[in-house]
Chain A
Amino acid sequence: MSVLLDEAQLQIADEAQRLVSAHYSGERLKGYLLERGAFDRELWERFGAQGWTAICYPEAFGGLDLGLLELGLVAEACGGAVTGVAALTSSFAMGQSLLYFGSEEQKADWLPQLAAGSVIGVVAFAEGQDMLPRAPRLRLEAGRLSGSKPAVVAGGIADGAVVLALGADGPVLALVDLSQRGVSRTLLDTFDNSRCTADLVFDDVEAHELPGSIDALAAARAILRLQAVIIGFEQVGGAQKMLTTARDYALTRRAFGQPIGAFQSVKHRIAEDYVLVELARANAIHAASRSGESDFGLYAAAARISATEAYDGVSRDAVQVHGGIGVTWEADLHLHQRRARTLAVEAGPLIFWEDEVITELQGAAQ
C-alpha cells in the first residue's frame, strides 16, 4: 500500500529540507568537485548529530528503528541540495548488510558506530559492467582477501566495507576493516569528485565472511535494492529541485515580450518534467512501503528506473530552459547534471534494473 506521510514523517522531511538547504553552497560543492578525496565532513557530522545516520537501525545498536521511508525523506532533501556526502547511502548499505547477514559480533563491532556516523562504511559488489558478478575476481581464501574492486563510492574515505568476493565454494560477502595494512585506495577522477569514488586494492588482508549470507548473490542483491530505493529518493529530491529551478526561471526570464514560461514549448516541457517527478516520487514511496514483502524487488527496481528517468530528464531540461546561463560553471545546474548521472550509475544502471523488473515479473507470473 502506498502511504500518505504521517506527522512524524512530515517533520523529518521538513527538518531535513531546512537543515540541508541552509547548509547548501554551490561554491563549496564546486570545491569538492575539483578536489579529489574531499567531501563535506562538517555536514556529515551534522547528519550524525541529527540522528539521520541512525534511522534504519534497531535501538539495541543505537538506532532509531525507523524505516526506509524516513531515511528516504532525508535522502530526498540531500538530493535537492546535491550534498557532498556520499556516505549517507554507502554507510547505510554496509550497515544493512551486517544487520541482515552479519554475526552478532560483527554487528556489535560496527553497527553502533555506523548508526552514530562515527565511521563511514561502503559496499563493494560490482566489477566491470557486472553489478553482481557471479564469479568475482576479488578472492577470499582462508580469511584473507586479495584483488581489487573498481570505482567504489565513498571508497576514498570509508573505514569499513562489505565486499562481494569469490570464496572456496562460490561468491561470499565479507566484512573488511579498511584501516588495515595491505588495503590501498586510488581516488578516481570523476565528474562528481565529491563522491570520493576510489578503486580499492586488497593485498592479503584479513576479512570475515558474513555468516548469514549463504547465498551471497541474493544477499548482495537484497542490499542493492535497499540502497537503490534510498538513492531513488535522493534522485527525486534532485529532480524536484531542478523542476522548481526551471519553473522559477521560466517565470522571470523574458523574451519576445513575455516570460519564456508562456511559450508552450517551454511550459509543456516543464509540465512533462513535473509528471516525471511525480511518477518517480510515487514509485519511491511505494517501494519503501513494500520493504520486507515478496514484491519489494520488483518495486525497488521500478522506483530506480523512474528515479533515473526523472533526474536525468529534468536536469537535462532545466539546463535547456536556462539558455546560455545554464551551461556556465557559475550556474549550479551542472552540479545536478553531474549528480544525476552519478547517482544513475552508482547503484546500478538502467539496464541492470530493467533486467531486475523482468526477472521479478517472470517470477511473479510463475
Chain B
Amino acid sequence: MTDLTAYRSAARAWIEGKIAEFGREARRGLTPAEDLALGRRYLAAKYEAGYSGISWPRENGGQGLSPTEKLAFDREEILHGFPTEYFSISLGMPVPIMLRYLPDGWKQERAIAALRGDEIWCQLFSEPAAGSDLAALRTRAVQDPDNGDWILNGQKLWTSWAHLADYGVIVARSDPNVAKHRGLTYFWVDMKAPGVTVRPVTLAAGDAHVNEVYFDDVRIPDAQRLGPVGGGFGVAMETLIIERYSATDPAANGPSIARALADATRMTRDGRPLIEDGRVRERIARNFATQAALASIHRRALLSLEAGTQPGSEGAIHKLVSVRNRQRLSEFMIDIEGVSGVRWNEQATRKDDWATSWLTAPTGRIAGGADEMLLNTIAERILGLPQDHRPDKGVPFNEIPG
C-alpha cells in the first residue's frame, strides 16, 4: 500500500465516521443559523483530526502535506454534502493569499481561526460594472497624505458569504489616470469596520448567500495593503489561481447518473419503464460518457500532480463541461417526469433534486469564470488563438467611455 493509498483510506474512515453527524441527512430541515453552526462544528472537528489546511505549511496551521493528499481528502469529503460551503471561498483564496503577503504573527492566528471555522473571509472583487472584466472596477481607494491610510468608497456585488464574513480581501482603484489594470491596489478589510454595509441579494432559486457590499469612507491603514500600490490586478490574478486544481464532481454537484438511471427505471409511460425509451437511453448514455471522461481527466491530473507536473487545462474543461451537462440532464429529467416535474421542494438540495439542480445550474456557468471566459482561456492559452479586440486596451481608465 502506498502512502497515498493509506492516507486516503484513513481519511475515508474518518469522513465516514462523520456522516451521521454532519452529512446531507443531518442537515435536512435545519435553519440557516443552525446549519452554519453545524458547519463550524464540522470544521473544528476536522481541525482537531488534522485534516484542515492539508497542503498548507505547518506554521500557518496546516499539515504540511502536498496538494495530492488534499485532493484525496476533498474527493472523499465532497460525496457527503457536509456543511463546508460557508468556508470554501474563505479557505480557498482570501486566507491563502493574505498568508502570502502579511507578516508573521497575526496572520497565523487568523488562519487557524479560519481553519477551525471560527472566522470567515470573503472575496470582494466583482462589482456592478466589473465581473468578467474585473479590471473595470470602480471602487476607489484614496490615500490620506497625512498618515498613509486608505479611504475606500464604492460598491461590490456578488460577494459570497459577505454577511457571515469577519474579513475580506478587496481590489480597488487607486489611480484612475492609468490603464485600467495598472491602477488597482489590493487590501484586506475588516468587515465589521465602520462604513461597511452588507445587503443580501436573493438568487433565482430563492437562496441568499451572495451580497452587495457598500464602502462609505472606510478607513484602513496602509499595513492592510497586499502587494505594491498599483499592483492589485496581479495579486487578484494570483488569488484566482492559488488553488490550481481542486476536487471535482463529474456531476457538477448535481444528482448522479446512478440517480438518473434509478429515476428513469422507476418512472413509467404506458406501463413501461422510461429507461426503455431510446430517447431517455441516449440522453443518459451520452451524459454518462461525458462524466466518465471528466473523471478520467481528473485522475490524470492527480497523477501528474503526484508526478510533480502542474495540471494544465483540466480545471477549465471540467467547469465548462460538467455544469452544462448537469443543466441539460436536469432539464431533461424534469421533462420526462411529466406533469409532476414542476414540483418544488424548498428543503431539497441540488445534489438530490433535479428541479433544484436545474434552477441553480446557471449560477455555475457564470460564477468563478463564465463559460465564455473559459472558452477564451482555452482558445488563447492552450490553442494560441488571438486575444479578442479590446477597444480599451492601453487607454487610461478615466478616458474609457463609460
Contact = CB atoms under 8 A, between A and B. Distances in A.
Interface of A: 1-4, 247, 250-251, 258-259, 261-262, 264, 267-268, 270-272, 274-275, 278-280, 282-283, 285-286, 298-299, 301-303, 305-306, 309, 350-351, 353-358, 361-362, 365
B182 to A, nearest CB: 24
Given A261-B386, A278-B297, A361-B261, A268 B375 contact: yes
B292 A302 contact: yes
Contacts of A282: 293-294, 296-297, 300
Contacts of B384: 247, 251
A62 to B, nearest CB: 33
Contacts of A272: 375
A4 B307 contact: yes
9 closest cross-chain pairs (CB), A and B: A354-B285, A279-B293, A357-B285, A286-B296, A282-B296, A302-B289, A305-B289, A262-B386, A271-B379
Contact of A270 (B281, B379, B387): B379
Interface of B: 257-258, 261-262, 265, 275, 278, 281-282, 284-286, 288-290, 292-297, 299-300, 303-304, 307, 313, 317, 320-321, 372, 375-376, 378-379, 382-389
B257 to A, nearest CB: 7
Contacts of B383: 247, 270-271, 274
A360 to B, nearest CB: 9
B296 to A, nearest CB: 4
B322 to A, nearest CB: 11
Contacts of B275: 358, 362
Interface of chain B, main secondary structure: helix
Given A283-B296, A286-B296, A4 B385 contact: no
A251 B278 CA distance: 42
Given A299-B292, A361-B288, A258 B379 contact: no
B285 A4 contact: no
Given A251-B385, A264-B388, A351-B278, A365 B262 contact: yes
Contact of B299 (A2, A250, A301): A2
30 contacts: A3-B303, A247-B384, A251-B384, A261-B379, A262-B385, A264-B372, A274-B313, A274-B379, A278-B317, A279-B293, A282-B293, A286-B293, A286-B295, A286-B296, A298-B292, A299-B292, A301-B285, A302-B288, A302-B292, A303-B289, A354-B286, A355-B285, A357-B285, A358-B261, A358-B275, A358-B285, A361-B257, A362-B261, A362-B265, A362-B275
A268 B289 contact: no
B281 A280 contact: no
A358 B376 contact: no
Contacts of B282: 350-351, 354
A1 B301 CA distance: 12
Given A262-B386, A283-B289, 11 more contacts: A4-B303, A251-B384, A264-B375, A267-B379, A272-B375, A275-B317, A282-B293, A286-B296, A309-B286, A358-B285, A361-B284
A286 B292 CA distance: 9
Interface of chain A, main secondary structure: helix
Contacts of B278: 351
A268 B375 CA distance: 6
Contacts of A357: 281, 284-285, 288-289
Tell me which of A271, A301, A351, A357 has the highest count of chain B C-beta atoms within 10 A of its own C-beta: A271
Contacts of B382: 274
Nearest to A259: B386
Nearest to A357: B285
B289 A2 contact: no
Given A282-B293, A305-B285, A271 B375 contact: yes
A268 to B, nearest CB: 4
Contact of A283 (B258, B293, B385, B389): B293
B73 to A, nearest CB: 19
A4 B387 CA distance: 32
Given A354-B281, A361-B288, A278 B386 contact: no
Nearest to B301: A2
A275 B385 contact: no
A298 B294 CA distance: 15
Tell me which of B261, B296, B303, B313 has the highest count of chain A C-beta atoms within 10 A of its own C-beta: B296
A279 B300 contact: no
Contacts of A299: 292
Contacts of B317: 275, 278-279
A365 B385 contact: no
Contacts of B313: 274, 278
A158 to B, nearest CB: 31
Contacts of A303: 289
Given A261-B385, A357-B285, A279 B299 contact: no
Contacts of A362: 261, 265, 275
Contacts of B295: 286
Given A4-B300, A261-B385, A279 B281 contact: no
A268 B379 contact: yes
Nearest to B264: A358
A285 B296 contact: yes
A274 B261 CA distance: 29
A275 B313 CA distance: 9
A159 to B, nearest CB: 35
A251 B386 contact: yes
A3 B303 CA distance: 8
A246 to B, nearest CB: 9
A275 B294 CA distance: 10
Contacts of A268: 372, 375-376, 379
B386 A271 contact: no
Given A4-B300, A271-B375, A358-B281, A280 B293 contact: yes
A267 B378 CA distance: 9
A258 to B, nearest CB: 7
A275 B320 contact: yes
Nearest to A310: B293
A146 to B, nearest CB: 34
A279 B257 contact: no
Given A275-B320, A302-B292, A1 B299 contact: yes
Nearest to B371: A268
Contacts of A274: 313, 378-379, 382-383
Contacts of A356: 285
Given A247-B384, A275-B320, A355 B293 contact: no
B385 A247 contact: yes
A279 B321 contact: yes
Contacts of A351: 278, 282
Contacts of A298: 292
Contacts of A305: 285-286, 289
Contacts of B296: 2, 282-283, 285-286
A259 B386 CA distance: 8
A365 B258 CA distance: 8
